[in-house]
């Protein structure tokens, strides 16, 4: 089903909520995960409230309790498009979101623990990945939640096209102003005063004509 859910350590959750396009768009609000008895300072970002309750079942919570320092991020999304683009780099086409399950685990190794031992100790986390894959595949939203998720996606698409239309209109206005300045410069370069005056008048008439409201005629034929 269509939903976005993420649970991440405090520092990562703050970064992801600002940088990842799907999270920043659909569920930027971060909520503490202690409500679900998840230990440590984890935060949840969930598009639909019921998804958090469904995903954070006893199995998943037990893994957070067993590996509190190893699990950094678990991110499920059907609208993943990567990092949020800058305001001046918005794509003209609506990005097509991908369905992803992203897991970020910390390998705790150092002087007292080798990298091989750290990898061996996190094998249960690999099993957790397959558990989540199966869980997400089988999970179905309630009718109300699905309606909300569909509405969110329609709203995002509508807002995208509105912003693109505004950008295109702004660019067209800038292009028109650029052409107007270029014509004025050409007029100034004309040495003959009479020719210069006539060209100015012609351009002024053209500008006035563009500013006039367009009138459409409706013809009705009576039988």
What are the tens digits of pLDDT across the range 17-72?
999 999 999 999 999 999 999 988 899 999 999 999 999 999 999 999 999 889 99
pLDDT value of position 216: 59
The sheet with strand 71-80 has its strands ordered as 31-32, 42-46, 5-9, 71-80, 98-105
**Is the pTM higher than 0.75?**
no
**Does residue 73 contact residue 9 with C-beta atoms inside 8 Å?**
yes
Q: How many CB atoms lie within 10 A of CB 162?
A: 10
Arithmetic mean of pLDDT, 84-111: 81
Q: Could you give the CA distance from residue 52 to residue 29 in angstroms, rounded to a whole number?
A: 13
List Cα–Cα distances, 125 to 41, 105, 164, 186, in angstroms.
19, 8, 43, 71
More confident residue, 11 or 219: 11
Region 126-138: what's the mean pLDDT? 95
Separation of alpha carbons 21 and 126, rounded Å: 26
The pLDDT tens digits for 134-152 are 999 999 999 999 999 999 9
Specify the residue for token string 């989540």: 132
Distance CA 38, CA 57 (A): 10
**189 pLDDT more than 90:** no
Enumerate residues 6+ apart whose C-beta is below 8 A from 6. Answer: 13, 16, 23, 27, 44, 45, 46, 73, 74, 75, 76, 77
The DSSP string of 39-97 is -SSEEEEESSHHHHHHHS-HHHHHHHHH-TTTEEEEEEEEEE--BPPPGGG--SSPP--
């Amino acid at each position: 089903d269509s939903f976005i859910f993420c649970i991440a350590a405090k520092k990562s959750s703050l970064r992801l909520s600002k940088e990842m396009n799907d999270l920043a768009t659909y569920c930027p609000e971060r909520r503490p995960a202690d409500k679900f008895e998840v230990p440590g300072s984890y935060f949840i970002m969930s598009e639909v409230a019921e998804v958090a309750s469904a995903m954070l079942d006893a199995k998943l919570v037990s893994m957070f309790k067993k590996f509190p320092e190893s699990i950094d991020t678990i991110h499920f999304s059907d609208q993943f498009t990567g990092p949020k683009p800058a305001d001046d780099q918005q794509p003209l086409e609506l990005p097509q979101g991908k369905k992803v399950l992203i897991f970020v685990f910390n390998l705790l190794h150092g002087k007292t623990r080798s990298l091989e031992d750290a990898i061996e100790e996190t094998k249960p986390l690999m099993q957790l990945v397959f558990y989540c894959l199966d869980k997400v595949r089988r999970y179905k939203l309630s009718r109300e939640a699905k309606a909300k998720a569909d509405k969110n996606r329609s709203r995002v698409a509508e807002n995208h096209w509105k912003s693109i239309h505004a950008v295109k209109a702004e660019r067209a206005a800038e292009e028109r102003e650029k052409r107007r300045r270029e014509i004025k410069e050409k007029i100034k370069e004309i040495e003959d005063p009479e020719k210069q005056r006539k060209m100015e008048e012609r351009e002024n008439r053209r500008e006035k004509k563009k500013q006039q409201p367009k009138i459409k005629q409706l013809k009705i034929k009576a039988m």
